[in-house]
Structure 1
């Protein structure tokens, strides 16, 4: 879906956490995670993402790669 005004993408993996792209080119993502009763912010860079944990529900790397690819495709569409 092409959205010319889209500069931010949110990912809701289903565990109550949210990943939000940062900046126009989305080189960074902030992961908001509720741990007990505290909100934790974890920042990931496209250049150094965490490895997939075997017992994890999802791969942060795969989610961020997919979101970044979607944003790049959208930005490429705008330049046509």
Structure 2
């Protein structure tokens, strides 16, 4: 879907059925058509920002998402 629609930014949940967010991120980064799209981790996991940045995400948001924080992250990346 990302390859077909070329979004400006992807909010990617980490905990999903079948494929988790880490695997989706790997696939996005491997594909030349999607590797430059900013990908933001969305998670309820108790990890810090550096964990997700080192995994290849451009940023992260903890759940529950605060609107002001979401707006700030989006502005930072597009």
Q: Structure 1 length as normaliser, TM-score?
A: 0.25
Bigger Rg, which one: 1
Query: Counting helix residues as a fraction of each chain, which structure ranks higher?
Result: 2
Query: Counting strand residues as a fraction of each chain, which structure ranks higher?
Result: 1
Q: Structure 2 length as normaliser, TM-score?
A: 0.25
> Higher relative contact order at CA 8 Å, sep ≥6: structure 1 or structure 2?
2
